[in-house]
Amino acid sequence: MEIFTATNLIYILGGFIKTIEISVLAIIFSLILGTVFAIAKQYGPRLLRIVASAYIELFRCTPNLLWILFIYFTVQGSDILISVLAFTLFTSAVMAEIVRGGFNAVPTGQFEAARSQGFGFWTTMVYIVLPQTFKTIIPALFSQCTTVIKDSSYLAGINVAEFMYTTNVVMAHAVDLSQVMLLYGFVFALYFALNFGISLAVRAYQRRQVAA
């Protein structure tokens, strides 16, 4: 039996699209939430700092799969909603640490200068600190993107029809080892192309930064 039929291929690639959809949404939401946690941990009042630290440590010290299963069990909704929610929960903890690393690279003189020009805390943040922060953390941010793309394959554990899941479904129809190998070759190649492309782009960006 032929395994790379048009129907199978469209089905598998549908999973690939879903992987990208979930990853992009999760990255956007977790970047926003992560920035909020980073501001809370770095500049917030004592209580807020403790809450943000606790959140970050909790999600940094427990497996992604645990939260995927947890959200799947407790929240009802479409598989996209569940996936994006679960990924946003723990990726925002990582994002918070990345953004905080960026804050540390902004010289304190920037704050003083902004203050002397009459900027308040939030205007300083939005116009002065955050733009500089995001510029320095772009490489870390994009390497986190590849992590999210890779980890999204954990979602096969809750039967979300992402790339690994759709491949496994087709795999069930494979009749011999060569078909299995071919399918895995295909999956590895696509994941690799996507992630390696991102990491090449990051490296090119870093080289340009160094040269500039």
Partner 1 sequence: MLEGLFDPTRWEATFGAMDTFWAGFAVTLQVVVAGLALALVLGTLLGVLSTSRSRALRGITRVYVELFQNTPLPVQVMFMYMAGPQLLASLTGAADPVRIAPFALGSLGVGLYHAAYISEVVRTGIESVPRGQMEAARSQGFTRPQAYAYIILPQTFRVILPPLCNQALNLVKNTSVLALVAGGDLMYRSDNFVALYGYLQGYIVSCFLYFIICFPLALLVQFLERRSKQRPRAKEIPGLADLAAASAGTDGKEA
Beta strands in the chain (DSSP E): none
| Segment (H or E) for 186 | helix 177-211
Of 84 and 149, CB closest to partner 1: 149
User: 4 by DSSP, 3-state: which?
Assistant: coil
Sequence-ordered list of residues with C-beta below 8 angstroms from that of 75, at least 6 positions apart, any chain: 81, 82, 85
Find the binder of partner 1 among 112, 192, 207, 209 (CB under 8 A). Answer: 192
How many residues of this chain interact with partner 1, rule: CB under 8 A?
A: 37
Q: Report residue 13 as tokens.
A: 């690639």
Residues 44-63, interacting with partner 1 (CB under 8 A): 57-58, 60-63
CA proximity to 8, closest of 166, 191, 184: 166
Sole binder of partner 1 in the list 4, 73, 121, 205 (CB under 8 A): 73
Residue holding tokens 């804050």?
Answer: 103
Least gap, CB of 122 to partner 1 (angstroms): 29
Judged by CB under 8 A, does residue 205 bind partner 1?
no
Cα–Cα dist 16/3, whole Å: 17
Q: Which of 13, 65, 80, 161 binds partner 1 (CB under 8 A)?
A: 65
Residue 96 CA, distance from chain mean position: 12
Interface pattern 128-167 for partner 1 (x via CB under 8 A): ------------------x--xxxxxx-xx------x---
Residue 8 or 195: which CB sits closer to partner 1?
195
Round to whole Å and give the CA distance between 18 and 152. 10
Task: Please give the residue ranges that form the binding site for partner 1 (CB under 8 A).
Answer: 57-58, 60-66, 69-70, 73-75, 146, 149-154, 156-157, 164, 168, 171, 177, 180-181, 184, 187-188, 191-192, 195-196, 199
